[in-house]
Chains A and B, each alone.
Chain A
């Protein structure tokens, strides 16, 4: 039976996770409802298969419940924490399947990796993603493509080198330089 507690749908993330940590399944249900689209969307983006993505997302939620007591808001937003857990599981699933991912051809990649992403596109992002979007938009396109492929699509440098038709060393250095540049941009933003 599905439990539905509308009041909990408005509880702050950290308070909700506190309830999850205490084993309150109404809080668990509210957390699942709040994040299922985002976690499943990320899993599907990485593994590219609905069934595998569902398995990954289910496992992510169970892991979140199991470790909710360890969530520390000082280390990041609950959304980021939940997405990171999902991402790691999805990457593991991708490697287990030994699939060779092709270059993404979806609209998300086209937008994120376009030659000149518009700052206005940040407005279409969720509140917690807009700053990341604005920082990403400042990277040179070749670095941005590598960063997006690695972070959002879980591609290794070797896979990026193949899909982008560039040497492995170039893929590695673009990824490192892109992330380092983003780190500096984020630092400037917060200082």
Chain B
């Protein structure tokens, strides 16, 4: 539904500030009241917001105070370790489904048994995903338990669904899951029912079973 031109005129000069999150209190409420019912102004706000988001990349970098990283991680771990009734609901909502992390290009499977934030300090194992000697992406296998596999495909020249499986050092093969690759790019993470040290090789195939890339993991 589109509001009358008069209403649009009344808020037009405030849309930029609204889009940039600079309005507060009554002003914000007034503009919001109009925008929710006016598709024209709503579109304007969305497009101005997108422009603002691009410009924010121009902000200068600056070194934070000493040990900033340590303090952030301490707060993160304290939050992760604290009992949290509210977060249980949040996790439940997230865990209920596949979570689209990178649009159509990356899926993270976060099922009901997805891990609580668990520390994994060991260095992950890494390997190059390659085909015919050409690097197509990277693979990382966490050394923590449970084991997670992270895959990034950056140079596959096609779009479609791929299957990921791993071969363990005892010869067993485990399916990791199916993932989407769009325009040569895909990234995902998924849990593997093995320890990181047991993983010998990862294989990416198309739906017909043709091998797209493999990675050999050295321990």
A residues apposed to B, CB below 8 Å? 1-3, 5-8, 10-12, 14-15, 17-19, 21-26, 28-29, 32-33, 36-38, 40-42, 44-45, 50, 53-54, 57-58, 61-62, 65-66, 68-76, 79-80, 83-84, 87-88, 91, 95, 106, 108, 112, 125-126, 128-129, 131-133, 135-136, 147-148, 150-152, 154-157, 169, 172-173, 175-176, 179-180, 182-183, 186
Contact = CB atoms under 8 A, between A and B. Distances in A.
Given A15-B189, A19-B148, A23-B80, A129 B103 contact: no
A128 B72 contact: no
B50 interface: yes
Nearest to A16: B150
Nearest to A133: B58
Interface of B: 12-17, 19-24, 47-48, 50-65, 68-73, 75-77, 79-80, 90, 94, 99-106, 108, 110, 114-126, 138, 140, 142, 144, 148, 150-152, 154, 187-189
A14 B101 contact: yes
Given A54-B64, A151-B56, A3 B101 contact: no
Contacts of A57: 64, 68, 72
Contact of A179 (B19, B121, B154): B19
B124 A25 contact: no
Given A14-B102, A26-B144, A108 B110 contact: no
A61 B121 CA distance: 19
A6 B123 contact: yes
5 contacts: A41-B59, A69-B99, A73-B103, A80-B56, A179-B48
B61 A8 contact: no
Contacts of B106: 14-15, 18, 73
A126 B57 contact: yes
Nearest to A12: B152
B99 A152 contact: no
Given A14-B102, A152-B58, A183 B126 contact: no
A28 B72 CA distance: 10
B17 A22 contact: no
Contacts of A154: 22
A5 B123 contact: yes
B22 A150 contact: yes
Given A42-B56, A83-B59, A157-B22, A11 B138 contact: yes
A28 B78 CA distance: 14
A180 B68 contact: no
Contacts of A23: 80, 114-118
Contact of A21 (B20, B73, B110, B144): B110
A80 B54 contact: yes
B13 A11 contact: no
B64 to A, nearest CB: 4
Contacts of B21: 87-88, 91
Contacts of A72: 100-103
Contacts of B23: 156
Contacts of B102: 14, 17-18, 71-74
Contacts of B94: 69
